[in-house]
Amino acid sequence: MNITVVGTGYVGLVTGTCFAESGHRVTCLDLDAAKIETLRGGGIPIYEPGLEELVRRNVKERRLSFTTSYPEAMKDADVAFIAVGTPPGENGDADLSYVLAAAREIGRHLTRYTVVVDKSTVPVGSADKVAEALREVTTQPFDVVSNPEFLKEGAAIDDFMRPDRVVVGVASERARAVMAELYAPFVRAEQPVLFMDLRSAELTKYAANAMLATRISFMNEIATLCEKLGADVDQVRRGIGSDRRIGHPFLFPGVGFGGSCFPKDVRAVMSMARHLGLDFDLLRAVERVNERQKRWLVEKAHKHFGTLAGRTFGVWGLAFKPRTDDMREAPAITVIEGLLAAGARVRAHDPVAAQVADGIFRGRGVTLVDEPYAAAEGADALLLVTEWNEFRQPDLARLKQLMAQPVLFDGRNVWDAAKVRAAGFTYYGVGRAAES
Binding residues for substrate: 150-153, 205, 250-254, 258, 321
Per-residue burial over 128-152, b = 16 or more CB atoms within 10 Å of its CB, e = otherwise: ebbbebbeeebeeebbbbbbbbbbe
The helix/strand/coil state of 63 is: coil
Binding residues: 30, 35, 86, 121, 150-153, 205, 250-254, 258, 264, 321, 328
Asked whether the beta carbons of 304 and 273 are under 8 A apart, the reply is no
The helix/strand/coil state of 401 is: helix
Look up residue 415 and give its DSSP letter: S
Give residues with Cβ within 8 angstroms of 187, minimum separation 6. Answer: 163, 166, 193
How far apart, in whole angstroms, are the C-alpha atoms of residue 167 and residue 262? 18
How far apart, in whole angstroms, are the C-alpha atoms of residue 65 and residue 29? 9
Give residues with Cβ within 8 angstroms of 47, minimum separation 6. Answer: 324, 325, 352, 353
- Which residue among the candidates 18, 28, 226, 261 is catalytic per the annotation? 261
Please give the backbone phi and psi of residue 233, each rounded to the nearest 5 degrees, phi first.
-65, -30
How far apart, in whole angstroms, are the C-alpha atoms of residue 421 and residue 435? 8
Q: Which amino acid is at 21?
A: E
Nearest to 103 by CA among 123, 78, 126: 126
Which helix or strand (DSSP H or E) is residue 4 part of?
strand 2-6
* Beta strand segments in 129-255, E: 142-146, 166-169, 193-196
Please give the backbone phi and psi of residue 345, each rounded to the nearest 5 degrees, phi first.
-105, 150
Look up residue 151 and give its DSSP letter: P
How far apart, in whole angstroms, are the C-alpha atoms of residue 81 and residue 344? 47
Asked whether the beta carbons of 410 and 300 are under 8 A apart, the reply is no
How far apart, in whole angstroms, are the C-alpha atoms of residue 139 and residue 134? 9
> Does residue 28 carry a catalytic annotation?
no
How far apart, in whole angstroms, are the C-alpha atoms of residue 403 and residue 361? 23
- What distances in angstroms separate CA 326 from CA 258, 268, 334, 350, 366, one per listed residue? 9, 20, 15, 11, 18
Which helix or strand (DSSP H or E) is residue 118 part of?
strand 114-118
How far apart, in whole angstroms, are the C-alpha atoms of residue 209 and residue 152? 11
The helix/strand/coil state of 376 is: helix
> Which active-site residues does the annotation give?
261
